[in-house]
Structure 1
Amino acid sequence: MTVVNETHSPASAKGRVEPTTSAGEASTLPELDEAVTGCRACPRLVSWRERVAEEKRAAFRDQEYWGRPVPGFGPSDASLALVGLAPAAHGANRTGRMFTGDRSGEVLYRALFDVGLASAPHSESAGDGLRLYGTRITAPVRCAPPANKPTPAERDTCSPWLAREFELLRPTLRVVVVLGGYGWQALLAVLAAGGWEVPRPKPRFGHGARATLRDPAGAELVLLGCYHVSQQNTFTGRLTPEMLRAVLGRAKEAAGVG
């Protein structure tokens, strides 16, 4: 198992980054992560993420926002993946790391640390030295969307990045924790297109839901559902730290991490 402390710089590729072509050309996860950061395929999302990065929130007015698509975070040989929804406008869109710099991230990384999947309980910035153990965090949509609601077309345009990420993780990936129903549906579509056999009827999302997918060679991939770590869920008690730790603990054991 590789432990990686990842930071990302702006994409160096020149010209238009087209998701299907650029994702398919990436032969490693670092190459894919670099290509993701140069994507401008969705005009509405590009306009929003850059506007937020320019106007900023008052509390962060002295900081330079990332303002680009956010790549996945974690080692290239992860056996466990977490799939969310999209970067937060003043969280990952500011820091350049998934679930970093906002209240949702505070809850998530605390739980990852508590169950032994992260080296520290807080994720402040892409250069803070935080490491994930056998775990990678990603999302179906890589740009911060207005009102946290990407359109179906934006989700589909972005899907080649997630599809290629899972292809590159395939040799080691065993378990996926999906945070929320949006990610659940998006991931099932990506996996089905990638050759995984999705059970029929299609597994429904729910906290604690479990589904096992198989590929033609007989390999298995376990999906575990978990309520999203949004403030709406954590502030109301719909998702408690104990509930989150329980799901992550089951995922860690099933993935054989540690």
Structure 2
Amino acid sequence: MNNSSDSNAEAKKNCQLCPRLVDYRHANRTEHPDWFNGAVPSFGQENAEVLIVGLAPGVTGANRTGRPFTGDWAGDLLYATLAKFNLSKGQYDRRTDDGLRLKKVMITNAVRCVPPQNKPTPAEIKTCRPFLTARLNTLPHLKVILALGKIAHDSTIAALGLRLKDYPFGHANRHDIPVDETMTRPPVIFDSYHCSRYNTNTRRLTPEMFENVFEKICAELN
């Protein structure tokens, strides 16, 4: 598994920063001691040109397996789409030992620990944001950020020190980041509705809509 291990960009597995999330992890650990049950690290390559930012680990997905978007429906759709656009190699199989590799892509989450009902509080999102900021700063070749859902979008905008009112979330929106002294070529941000089962079941997000965003991302890379 081509995980990143940068100490500033990754929370410790047994992170203690958010008491409610710690308690929820402990409850899951008691009920499912064989699950990962910790702060889930980013997955991908340090030379990533694309950073995909999700919301948080799913309780039976990444919280169980220890790899972002691995083990639930959201991952089924995301990894199938990455494969379709030649952004991964190997076969995704809902397991961390499936041999899957990403190609110049990294996947992370705005919140690294699983929240109850998949709903982190504003304080928990803010507390976890330094890890996202640090992760952004470790990717010198970054060209595109894909935010999956409004929480991921808002946290990414804040991590970049930008004002939310200037960068409204909307499916398939594209946002240019202004150049500053630390960026010779700042990445662009694309938005998508989150690839959750709820969004796909309600048709808020269809596979075709999701693929359309990746078409735009690939055009940006080229």
Match of 1:39, SS state, is coil
Instruction: Say if 1:83 and 1:156 are closer, same or farther in 2 by CA, change over 3 A.
Output: same
Q: Is 2:175 the counterpart of 1:211?
A: yes
Alignment correspondent of 2:13: 37
Q: Distance in 2 between matches of 1:249 and 1:165?
A: 25
Aligned residues of 1:53 and 1:94 also touching (Cα < 8 A): no
Match of 1:30, SS state, is coil
What is the root-mean-square deviation of aligned Cα atoms in Å? 1.9
Q: Distance in 1 between matches of 2:163 and 2:177?
A: 7
> CA shift at 1:115, angstroms?
1.0
1:179-229 Cα distance to aligned partner (Å, 9 max, x none): 11111111100111xxxxx47841111111110002313522200111101
Aligned residues of 1:141 and 1:158 also touching (Cα < 8 A): yes
1:118-143 Cα distance to aligned partner (Å, 9 max, x none): 22453412222100011000111000
Give the 5 Å matches for 1:217-232: 217=181, 218-232=184-198
Higher mean C-alpha displacement, 216-225 vs 202-211:
216-225
Q: Distance in 2 between matches of 1:105 and 1:94?
A: 13
Q: Distance in 2 between matches of 1:73 and 1:159?
A: 17
Q: Is 2:206 the counterpart of 1:240?
A: yes
Q: What TM-score results when the alignment is normalised by the length of structure 2?
A: 0.92
Instruction: Say if 1:147 and 1:124 are closer, same or farther in 2 by CA, change over 3 A.
Output: same
1:214-252 Cα distance to aligned partner (Å, 9 max, x none): 231352220011110111111122211111112112212
Q: 1:174 aligns with which of 128, 138, 143?
A: 143
Instruction: Say if 1:201 and 1:154 are closer, same or farther in 2 by CA, change over 3 A.
Output: closer
1:51-82 Cα distance to aligned partner (Å, 9 max, x none): 123314xxxxxx82000000110001100011
Q: Distance in 2 between matches of 1:245 and 1:166?
A: 24
**Which residue identity is paired with 1:208?**
A
Q: Distance in 2 between matches of 1:219 and 1:149?
A: 34
Q: Distance in 2 between matches of 1:180 and 1:160?
A: 19
Give the 5 Å matches for 1:53-68: 53-56=29-32, 64-68=34-38
Alignment correspondent of 1:183: 152
Alignment correspondent of 1:106: 76
Aligned residues of 1:68 and 1:93 also touching (Cα < 8 A): yes
Q: Distance in 2 between matches of 1:253 and 1:148?
A: 32
Q: Distance in 1 between matches of 2:194 and 2:11?
A: 27
Q: Distance in 2 between matches of 1:153 and 1:200?
A: 17
**Which residue identity is paired with 1:85?**
L
Q: Is 2:47 the counterpart of 1:74?
A: no
Alignment correspondent of 1:6: 2
Q: Distance in 1 between matches of 2:85 and 2:69?
A: 17
Q: Distance in 2 between matches of 1:214 and 1:91?
A: 36
Q: Distance in 1 between matches of 2:196 and 2:37?
A: 21
Match of 1:176, SS state, is strand
Work out the percentage of aligned pairs sharing the same amino acid. Answer: 39
After superposing on structure 2, the runs of 4+ consecutive aligned residues of structure 1 that deviate more than 6 Å are none
Alignment correspondent of 1:254: 220
The number of residue pairs the alignment matches comes to: 219
Q: Distance in 2 between matches of 1:121 and 1:82?
A: 19
Q: Is 2:44 the counterpart of 1:48?
A: no
**Structure 1 residues without counterparts, runs of 5 or longer:** 8-28, 57-62, 193-197
Aligned residues of 1:184 and 1:225 also touching (Cα < 8 A): yes
Instruction: Say if 1:158 and 1:200 are closer, same or farther in 2 by CA, change over 3 A.
Output: closer
**Structure 2 residues without counterparts, runs of 5 or longer:** none
